[in-house]
């Protein structure tokens, strides 16, 4: 059993100081505070969420090849089920709030093709609509469509054009920074949101699945 009881207030204070002085030397000097106030509670949270997928705490350092900006991430992020190559969950604490998300974030070309073919198939898509409605009832919002037009091969008047115009399929909710973050209520709320997203994740696992392309061609 996990002993996650929320993040201590010191975690948010650390993020405030980091935002004001985002420097590698500062971070290394304050690394013990980061571990105690942010990393350790987030690892405990990951253990409590293991049924949603293997938990992975992201490194605090930005990779400038993909994320230009400050050297240290101004948030703490936890991925769930990342190694499956299909769908999973994500939890992120920052000064913007607590973000809980789930779905298929960066599909490979063959995954995107299977996703669109599944959306195009009425009975299969009906189950997706039910899953999205279930997530919406819990306050999770569907991410915005990336395409302005229909993808190649699909008519602009397709009954599910809104879904077809997406290059990823995720739902998320951003919770404000409030006192319950420092209590076991944080774990209960995160569990509830991931439970609400579970039908979507299951649908993606069943109808999209992992990529079958070599890693270098995805």
**Domain positions in the chain:** 9-208
Distance CA 76, CA 11 (A): 10
150-179: per-residue pLDDT in tens?
Answer: 999 999 999 999 999 999 999 999 999 999
Look at residue 1 and tell me whether its pLDDT is greater than 60. no
Which runs of E-coded beta strand occur in 20-168?
A: 55-57, 75-80, 88-94, 97-104, 141-142
Residue closest to 101 by CA, chosen among 28, 155, 176, 174: 174
DSSP 4: -
Phi-psi region of 39 (alpha: psi -120 to 50; beta: other; left: phi over 0): alpha
Architecture of domain 9-208: 2-Layer Sandwich (3.30)
193-202: per-residue pLDDT in tens?
Answer: 999 999 999 9
Q: Which residues pair with 170 in a beta bridge?
A: 103
80-137: per-residue pLDDT in tens?
Answer: 997 667 789 999 999 999 999 999 998 999 999 999 999 999 999 999 999 999 999 9
Residue closest to 100 by CA, chosen among 4, 199, 193, 170: 193
The answer to whether 49 and 55 have CB atoms below 8 angstroms apart is: yes
pTM: 0.93
């Amino acid at each position: 059993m996990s002993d996650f009881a929320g993040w201590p207030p010191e975690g948010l204070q650390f993020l405030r100081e980091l935002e004001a002085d985002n420097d590698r030397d500062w971070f290394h000097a304050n690394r013990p505070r980061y571990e105690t106030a942010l990393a350790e509670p987030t690892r405990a949270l990951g253990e409590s969420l293991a049924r949603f997928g293997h938990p992975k705490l992201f490194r605090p350092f930005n990779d400038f090849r993909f994320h230009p900006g400050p050297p240290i991430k101004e948030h703490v992020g936890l991925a769930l089920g990342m190694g499956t190559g299909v769908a999973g969950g994500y939890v992120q604490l920052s000064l913007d709030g607590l973000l809980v998300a789930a779905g298929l974030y960066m599909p490979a070309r063959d995954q995107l093709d299977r996703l669109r073919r599944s959306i195009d198939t009425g009975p299969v898509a009906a189950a997706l609509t039910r899953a999205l409605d279930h997530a919406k009832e819990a306050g999770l919002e569907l991410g915005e469509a990336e395409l302005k037009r229909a993808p190649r091969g699909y008519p602009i008047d397709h009954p599910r054009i809104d879904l077809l115009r997406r290059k990823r399929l995720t739902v998320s909710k951003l919770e404000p920074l409030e006192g319950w973050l420092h209590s076991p209520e944080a774990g209960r709320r995160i569990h509830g949101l991931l439970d609400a997203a579970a039908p979507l994740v299951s649908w993606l696992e069943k109808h999209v699945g992992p990529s079958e392309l070599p890693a270098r061609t995805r």
